[in-house]
Amino acid sequence: MWLYKNKRYKFNEPIDLVYLWVNSDDEDWKAEMLKWKSLEFGLSSRGGFRDCRFFNNHELKYSIRSVLTNAPWINKIYIVTNGQVPDWLNLDYSKIKIIPHSQILPQDALPTFNSEAIEACICNIPELSEYFLYSNDDMFINRPVTPDYFFDKNGKPIVRLVKQKWTTEERNSNLYLQNIEYSIQLIKTKFGKEYKYEPSHNIDAYRKSYFLECKNEFLEQFKAVYYKKFRTTNSVQRHIVSLYMLAKKYAKLKKVDIRINSKKKELENIYLPIMQQDKMKNAISVHNPVLMCINDDENAVSEDRKNLKIFLSALYPIRHNFEKDDDWQIYPVFDDDNARAIVFAPDKNYFKYFCVALYSLIKNSSPEYKYDIVVINSDASERSKKLIEKMIPENFSLRFVNIQEYINQSLIGFNLKSRMYWSISMYYRIFIPLLMRNYSKVLYCDSDIIFNSSVDELFDVEFENNSLLAVLDAISPVINFDKYRFYHFKNVLKLNEPQCYFNSGILMFNIKQISVNSYLEDVKNTLNIPSLMYPDQDILNMLFQNQVKYVSWRWNFQWHVPIFRKKDFNLFEGKFKDDYWKSYANPSIIHYTSSVKPWNSPEEEFAEEFWKYARQTPFYEEIIFANVQNPNIADKRILSNLISRRKIFFNYYRYKLLSCITFGSTKKHYKSKRTKLKEKVKSIRQYLNVK
């Protein structure tokens, strides 16, 4: 049941979706097209033939993603092709069916390279429902819609059209516009109505019975177009069906503005030519359309075409079951070898702390670089995501990727167990080399960290043929004094050098150095080892032993050492000892290791660095409130005062002023109230480091 004009109504009829698609990279298809082009127009097949309408920019996969994400009520999806099948399509997915041209066009009209001829026959698709939508592969649903967006409560299709604004010169030089005009004139001749509108270049709604009725009404014109292998003048265009439904009052007209340079802020539909990613991203952000067409035209630059897949993968990152298992990939957002790819994997309990880590990264970033931030997460609320997105500057990209489906489908038999207070998300970092194969290097960061300086220097460190950059774990320099852990490293993890055990909170993967097939099998084998103490960290140490370049402790300064392990200082030796004290004096990344955290122990050393950034995030009050409720909090009164600090400061200054301008017992009364608040004000100032 859906809403329509604030009234509830039932729409129980199935609604299908039809696409046209061609793989223009298919050499056989190109040879066939050029042969027929030569026969029909006398062009040399050796000279080639370029037409932006045939370019394959991988849009279809992302268009379907947009549909299944924002219109999950769609019944069946039909992809009309010349028999080609997208290499990423899972043919076992029952909701999508390939329809070859031979099923809907006359046999003596084949092969055809004319989209107008194919569109004229989509109503012939076997089992196509009465109610259906038609889309090109470059059309997308940008936000959630319900069926009433396309059909009214009486089942009438809603026809969205754009007011004609082309000049005579533009029409005469554009074959597409000429055929639109031809269709308009056919309707005018038949019904005496002239619709000076053009299509909205977006997903259109039809009823099969009306489509067939229109074809019968203009049977001669439709038959003629079947046999035109390429677009030519005086061809009936699919637009005639929309106009026919309006003329017969079978449909409702809705005028829309699709221009991205429109003065209107929000546009229902937009027509977006392929251009630079930042310009497309800005247009979508400004207009927030329901539907959009990202069109490849003759003005598109090859570099922008090349980047379109990257742009679309960022726009629609959530993979669906219609994609083959081996198509699980996260693609770079920026076409820039120097872009910094950084991955976080917070669960819902750590999301607010991840926000603080991200904010510290932003504040210490350089405007000279671009930052591709991928958040692997399956349980964050939409509210939390939107709050974080508001913090993101222009040189940052932020994506939330749910890999739970990948784990469920592609990692059958992989033993992912939670342990103590660690959730399944601790394993996500292990799968980075499998999911991000199109990157060269990727930095993984835990969410309980603070960036105290720019991370760019770390990205410039050479791997020296190693697969990983990492920092020694705090136990490693003193492992010989811990018999239990030493036994675990040596006999369970089978580490040749236990003193080289690294911490998995900060890791830089050298993606190109890691063999995917052997890595996947190794991951499965290590996951089945029983009694892992720190599952993700133990596994990564087994996988990458002898393949690690170790970097300074300042890139992963583990704060529990000065809190719990001060006695170990005397055991540190040589280079590690020197590196530790330099890192202690100036850590680049502070890692809040152990169960003691700055949000529940604000009195500990280095906690003030966390709170310095936390105060500037939209999660500040949530962090305080969550820890007021925590029974283990060191000092609830401080946090309680922080929540009410504005009221406390206001009343303090109010009573201070009143005690100065009043006399006698009244003055004494206000002075007493001011004195009671003075200690609270003092403690808040000390905590916030306000002088």
Contact (Cβ atoms closer than 8 angstroms) between residue 626 and residue 352? yes
Q: How far apart are CA 242 and CA 252, in angstroms?
A: 10
pLDDT at 317: 76
pLDDT of res. 15: 97
Does residue 473 surpass a pLDDT of 70? Answer: yes
Tokens of 251: 């449909």
Q: What is the pLDDT of residue 4?
A: 36
Q: What is the mean pLDDT of the chain?
A: 86
pLDDT digits (tens, 9 = 90+) for 611-637: 999 999 999 999 988 877 555 444 555
Instruction: Give tens-digit pLDDT for 110-142.
Output: 999 999 999 999 999 999 999 999 999 999 999
Helix (H) / strand (E) containing 295: strand 291-295
The string of pLDDT tens digits covering residues 395-412 is 999 999 888 767 766 666
pLDDT digits (tens, 9 = 90+) for 70-89: 999 999 999 999 999 998 89
Cα-Cα end-to-end distance for the chain: 59
Residues 6+ apart with CB under 8 A from 176: 231, 237
pLDDT of residue 49: 42
Q: For the chain, what is the radius of gyration of the CA atoms? A: 32
| Backbone region of residue 671 per phi and psi (left: phi > 0; alpha: psi in -120 to 50; beta: other values) | alpha
Burial class (CB in 10 A: 0-12, 13-18, 19+), 453: middle
What's the predicted TM-score (pTM) here? 0.58
So what's the pLDDT on residue 527?
81
Q: Is 375 helix (H, G, I), strand (E, B) or coil?
A: strand
Contact in structure between 359 and 371 (CB atoms under 8 Å): no
Nearest to 119 by CA among 68, 64, 185, 53: 53
How many Å apart are CA 592 and CA 505, to the nearest integer?
Answer: 10
How confident is the model over 195-247, as pLDDT tens digits?
Answer: 999 899 899 999 999 999 999 999 999 999 999 999 999 999 999 999 999 99
Minimum mean pLDDT range among 261-265, 266-270, 392-396, 437-441: 261-265
